[in-house]
Structure 1
């Protein structure tokens, strides 16, 4: 049986415990044995290398040198990594090794909770199969992103809340490699309720399975 590790914690506004429970249920439906931890010390465990998938849900906070070293090594050696919104894209702001692995870092969400549109750029990719452009109500993430990411969906900033970024096209969903490991990220999912959005939930489920080499 494949095993997955979910590590949750950090800023409570992203409802990490509730989201961890939802994601654990999704993975159990896919026949994973799921381990839930709420301390970054889990990233330092020697058992990390035996996992098929790691899901960090840990907005902001700090990660110790041995923890990020072990996590990065496990992914480079083939363990999958999948995450969403600030739980992965705004975790451990001081850890550049972590950002290098993830392929991006949150820097702003102009207007906070707003209506915006997600545009599917790779409808041919299995993760996005059958999903068309859709409206979304949440934080529209402005991120610093790695040009080596394989971008699957984007959003365009209107400039209403920050005129100098009008027309900027920003990646929303991407996948990438870190060593031999697969890394998946979606900026959707500010709070647990957003997993009720079919497109968001489907994209993340498929992304996790892709990262875990389903």
Structure 2
């Protein structure tokens, strides 16, 4: 039985939404999905199309979505459509919509930078080595099966979140003398969420194409896509 996947991509070009999603579209097709692509989240307002969609892969950083689009997405997920994505394409989308933020359960706040003496004014200012640590829940979850803690050098997301998410992996922001916080901050790095009859999957690693091709990150995202799909 063929399932349907809708790839919605756009927003800030710095996350390479076209090239990033192109890395995973062949995987979806190999796993039996009929894939269509849209560059405008207004497609979420099409109730008939959303009802026929088994998985939404979203890569839309920042940008805006209409109230009708957000309602359509919420209704579709509650009815069983899966929603999945990575990094800013799902955790930093549609900042002005509280309804969207509630749906996803976590929102990018910042990515701490290097020491002020080491910054150059480009994206690499925020590329820090950090560890993605599996939670006890994550170690027993099919998305993370067989994986262990791993390190990356990329943007380390600080995420504002609620208790309805099921955190499969975390990352800890250390205390630095040049940052204003006073104790280590643990943020979710990979999480799932159940919303009505639907499932949501988020990986915060995924800033650049090389990160998306890291063996651990690629495995987590591929499994997350399959887990979230109806």
Class of the TM-score when normalised by the shorter of the 2 chains? over 0.9
Q: Secondary structure at the match of 1:188?
A: coil
Q: Distance in 2 between matches of 1:68 and 1:148?
A: 19
- Determine the structure 2 residue equivalent to 1:69: 71
CA contact (8 A) 1:157 1:165 kept: no
Q: Which runs of 4+ in 1 moved over 6 A?
A: none
What is the CA distance between 1:162 and its match in structure 2? Answer: 2.3
- Determine the structure 1 residue equivalent to 2:103: 101
Aligned length: 213
Asked if 1:58 is matched to 2:60, the reply is yes
CA contact (8 A) 2:129 2:151 kept: yes
Rg larger in structure: 2
- Determine the structure 2 residue equivalent to 1:42: 43
Gap regions ≥5 residues in structure 1:
none
Post-superposition CA distance 1:37-91 (Å, at most 9, x none): 1112221223011111001100001100111111110000111111110000000
- Determine the structure 2 residue equivalent to 1:79: 81
CA contact (8 A) 1:60 1:93 kept: yes
- Determine the structure 2 residue equivalent to 1:168: 185
What is the CA distance between 1:163 and its match in structure 2? Answer: 4.6
Asked if 1:113 is matched to 2:127, the reply is yes
Matches within 5 A, 1:1-214: 1-45=2-46, 46-111=48-113, 112-121=126-135, 122-160=138-176, 162-164=179-181, 166-213=183-230
Q: Distance in 1 between matches of 2:63 and 2:182?
A: 28
Taking only aligned residues, the RMSD between alpha carbons, in angstroms, comes to 1.1
TM-score (norm 2): 0.90
TM-score (norm 1): 0.96
Q: Distance in 1 between matches of 2:96 and 2:22?
A: 27
